[in-house]
Structure formats: structure tokens, C-alpha cells
Amino acid sequence: MPAGVSWATYLKMFAASLLAMCAGAEVVHRYYLPDLTIPEIPPKPGELKTELLGLKKRQHEPQVSQQ
């Protein structure tokens, strides 16, 4: 008896956990709609749409200290 419960209870909980995990993954997958295509040629730096372009702009601006 794993975890101090009967095999029937253990298998029920395992199946419920597995089902909940798969259902949650499916919901997240359908919500975010990931692009699963694999390009033949890797993109050059700056061409990838997931890069944080706003972060690059902020890094080049001078920082003003307020003292």
C-alpha cells in the first residue's frame, strides 16, 4: 500500500491527478496558442518576435538619478 492507502484509492487519486494535469495543459495550450512550426533556417538576432524590443530601447537611454 503506497502512501498508507489502499491500491484502489492510490490508483484513483493517481488517475485523477493525471487527468487534471493533462486537462490543465490542454487549457493553457489552447489559451496561449503557441507557434509550433520549426523554421528551416534559424532567425538572425533581432528577427525573433519574442525578443523584448522595449528592453533594448530602455537599455540605451541614459539613466537620470534623482537625489
Domain locations in the chain as residue ranges: 2-60
What pLDDT, on a 0 to 100 scale, did the predictor assign at position 50? 64
Are the C-beta atoms of residues 43 and 50 closer than 8 Å to each other? Answer: no
**Longest CA–CA separation in the chain, Å:** 67
- What is the pTM for the complete model shown? 0.51
pLDDT digits (tens, 9 = 90+) for 4-57: 999 999 999 999 999 999 999 999 989 988 777 877 787 787 776 665 555 555
What pLDDT, on a 0 to 100 scale, did the predictor assign at position 52? 57
Are the C-beta atoms of residues 11 and 5 closer than 8 Å to each other? Answer: no
What pLDDT, on a 0 to 100 scale, did the predictor assign at position 24? 97
What pLDDT, on a 0 to 100 scale, did the predictor assign at position 64? 65
**6 grid coordinates:** 489502499
